[in-house]
Amino acid sequence: MDVIDIIVAKRDGAELAPDQIDWVIGAYARGEVPDEQMAALCMAIVWRGMTAAEVSRWTEAMLRSGERLDFSDLGRPTTDKHSTGGVGDKITLALTPAVAACGAAVPQLSGRGLGHTGGTLDKLESIPGWRASLTPGEMRGVLRDVGAVVCAAGPGLAPADRRLYALRDVTGTVESIPLIASSIMSKKLAEGTGALVLDVKVGSGAFMRDTASARELARTMVGIGRDHGVGTVALLTAMEAPLGRAVGNALEVAEAVEVLAGGGPEDVVELTVTLAREMLAAAGLPGAKDPADALRDGSAMDVWRRMVAAQGGDPDAPLPVAAERRQVLAAESGLLTRLDARAVGLAAWRLGAGRARKEDPVVPGAGVTLHVKPGEEVRAGAPLFTLHADDPRRFDHAAQALERAYEIDGGYDPLPLVIDRIDG
């Protein structure tokens, strides 16, 4: 086939044939199609879109570019969750052991943060000794012995997507729902889970800023899962304000441990339990132990400790603490009516909690503690935020990101935490 014919066909709005999609993805993975031609095809997709059939076939082609894990012999059903990313989103940390404590196996492949959004692997790596890179055999061993594992995707899973994602990131072609959906789902399907629950974030701190776009992305991914025989459900959840009161790697681990101990912020607990129930139902375990009980009775904490230890971590070790702290105080009293998630994420990034490039290090103890959430009262002179950093020179720049991040005594009409449910 000729890649130029495929580019021109999509540029002119044609639907690509299955054999065209198979060939171009395979040829790109083998290095036979150069980056500049694949970038041109991605830009044509950004402008022209793809049909549901094209998206499903594109995902299948990326799946076939590498290995696909199989955990069907574990003796219990597998289920997984994927979040499209947000600020303060430490849900995976408590969710994974809670679901495992209720009878399912959870093979959770996670990623790192970039920009204002945090990454689950960065958070867990703040635990002394914990390691993200496991071989497929090690992953299977932890899953068999503990029932839950959180680790990085190996190089053999959907390698075409790994190469394509890096290309899209530098060619202005990230913002395409078909390409986003197929990228997410190719990796999730490759991990071999039997059921999948998607947490599609909506709001200022999310990739999808408006509900209509988030709903379209959710429906596309649910359709891909259905086409590939994996029961898939999506929840649209609010990301106007950060989740919980901690934003930053070690700070979020500590907050997740509070949830596992039966406490923690109400929104984190609510979303953890809601997603866990969806995962158990999707796995065919609707009558299983309730995850809220697993958080209360300590069984989820037991799985957490075993999971951390199985990946080399010390669950009893103190978490890293930033060397310096500074408080940001409220200038007036009243009701906090707005707290912009993206601005808080940017502040945490400026403090050292995030990275601008994938190879950049993160500061484990850096981040922001929120003393007041929307809907709560604040007094003049009381702390709104505590900033955590190893380098005090970072404080002023981080505080600038927060200057217009909040509003006191403005209009208050928050979205519900769970906005919609899409099951196809």
Task: List, by residue number, the catalytic residues.
Answer: 82, 161, 168, 183, 187
Neighbours of 133 (CB within 10 A): 12
Of 145, 194, 152, nearest to 303 by C-alpha is 145
Name the strand (E) or helix (H) holding 321. Answer: none
199: left (phi over 0), alpha (psi -120 to 50) or beta: beta
Tell me how far apart the alpha carbons of residues 145 and 89 are, in angstroms, rounded to a whole number: 27
Neighbours of 379 (CB within 10 A): 12
Two tokens, residue 397: 């720049």
Contact predicate 84/184, CB 8 Å: yes
Tell me how far apart the alpha carbons of residues 398 and 326 are, in angstroms, rounded to a whole number: 11
Name the strand (E) or helix (H) holding 334. Answer: strand 334-339
Tell me how far apart the alpha carbons of residues 255 and 252 are, in angstroms, rounded to a whole number: 5
Q: Are strands 106-110 and 148-152 parallel, antiparallel or unpaired?
A: parallel
Q: Which positions ≥6 away from 401 have C-beta within 8 Å?
A: 343, 344, 346, 347, 350
φ, ψ for residue 387 (rounded to 5)? -95, 135
Contact predicate 221/213, CB 8 Å: no
